[in-house]
Amino acid sequence: MTDLTETNQKDDELPRLKSIVEDLLREAERQGATTAEAGISIDQGLSVTARLGDVETIEHHRDQGLGVTVYFGHRKGSASTTDLSARAVKETVSAACGIARYASDDEYAGLPDPALLTTDVVDLDLSHPWRLNADRAVELAIECEEAARSYHPEISNSEGATLTTQNGVKVLGNSLGFLQGYPSSEHSLSCSVLGQRGESMQRDYWYTVARDCDALEPPRAVGEKAAQRTLRRLEARSLTPRQCPVIYSAEVARGLLGHLVGAIRGSNLYRKTSFLLESLGQSVFPPFVHIHEQPHIKQALGSAPFDAEGVATRAHDIVRDGVIQSYILSSYSARKLGLESTGNAGGVHNLTLDPGDMDLAGLLKQMNTGLLVTELMGQGVNNVTGDYSRGAAGFWVVGGEIQYPVEEITIAGNLKDMFGGIVAIGSDVDSRGTIRTGSILIEAMTVAGN
């Protein structure tokens, strides 16, 4: 099998990709564009899935892409290609220019404020290629799945274990003189199994993900965690309708912060499709809540030196003392709102809800009696009103101790009330993504079942 290190993207790819972007920007100017920006990325990797002790899939991939946006004054045109040849670059620029010439004027369209562009790419230690061939990847996936399948006799079947490794390089440039890029990597291992006890059948999973393979959980630990999570869900019941406290476990709590991000994202604000319109400076959370971006954490999955427009990322508060301090803005949405870009074109970077002192067990004791949610289903969230209703599964808690698993229930409320009703935040921070939070205890929600 081919060792991935033979073709891994190295730092020496950066000069070549920067040269392509420079050529593209010159071509855009030659074809009459007032200004232009372009991005290029190349990534490659390996993905293997093992199921029931055998190899199910092995996939090597190598992807590349280039996108260009040109401006004729305030008229904008964009085009993209996967062909990086000189001819394709020229044709892609021509396509973008053709669109821009017929586009309508938009006074808010254009490149970022030059003063906000990053001038020096800080090293965030994001690139750790894994010296892994397909044979070894298969061994690790099989080891992970076998650990889950052999954990307990009630583990009855498997959906498999999947290992992925990916390395890439991206470069961004514009006609304001900005031209920067950096390499990155991401590796993951996941496992999903089924359990059966009598007539009860359940499925659950676990996964680990990191920039550096040495930071991944061991394959056996991932498999055993998947099995444990499956077994604890067996013989789940429903619940009668009630109002009760609810804890969102850390792995699903990030979804609550995702709804906050959507509500204060510039595009939703200027379109007036948010329940948090004109919320800047308003108290939305309890005073102990602090939510902030930390884009420069080394090796973190949400770290980046600049956003999708080249604007420098920076640590800043989103919520402090429970009060909204900042929206989530790109250059375009910032102009529409009469504000300044927050460096969030393309999303948030390590959005962090500061943890409290208690772990999940401590939160359960504080809640005393209520619902622990570990899985959410459906998309019943109205971003305009904040109304929230989603299918859920988890555990019923009495006296601070888990009593039995629950399923086929719905939890409902309004996001404003839910944000304001946060009682405590756990110390069990889940950092496997761009949003980092511990478990969240909410004072009361409506729970409905059979």
HEC per residue, 203-266: EEEEEEEECCHHHCCCHHHHHHHHHHHHHCCCCCECCCCEEEEEEECHHHHHHHHHHHHHHCEH
297-313 tens-digit pLDDT: 999 999 999 999 999 99
Count the residues in the chain: 450
Task: Please state, in angstroms and rounded to a whole number, the distance separating the CA atoms of residues 228 and 57.
Answer: 26
Q: What is the pLDDT of residue 11?
A: 52
pLDDT tens digits, residue range 258-297?
999 999 999 999 999 999 999 999 999 999 999 999 999 9
Cα–Cα separations (whole angstroms), residue 78 to 84, 117, 172, 251: 16, 21, 15, 37
- Mean pLDDT, 10 residues at a time, the chain of 450 residues: 38 86 96 97 96 96 96 96 94 97 95 95 95 95 98 97 97 97 97 96 97 98 98 96 97 96 98 97 98 98 97 97 98 97 97 97 98 94 96 97 97 98 98 97 94
Q: How many CB atoms are located within 10 Å of the residue 426 CB? A: 28
Residue 189 CA to residue 164 CA, distance in Å, equals 7
Give the pLDDT confidence score for residue 149 in this predicted structure. Answer: 97
Give the pairing of strands 242-248 and 387-398.
unpaired
Question: Cα dist. 213→41, 216, 218 in Å?
Answer: 22, 5, 10
SS3 (DSSP) at 338:
coil
Asked if 419 and 260 touch (Cβ cutoff 8 Å), the reply is yes
CA distance 137 to 155: 24
Residue 36 sits at φ, ψ, to 5 deg, of -160, 160
Q: Where in the chain is the domain with CATH 3.30.2290.10?
A: 4-231
Residue 430 and residue 249: Cα distance in Å, rounded? 9
> Quick check: 310 and 170 in contact, CB under 8 A?
no
| Alpha carbons 446 and 242: distance in angstroms, whole number | 6
Largest distance between two CA atoms of the chain: 72
Dist. CA 395–CA 181, nearest whole Å: 46
H or E stretch including 97? Answer: helix 86-102
Write down the architecture of domain 4-231 according to CATH.
2-Layer Sandwich (3.30)
Strand pairing of 422-425 and 54-72? unpaired
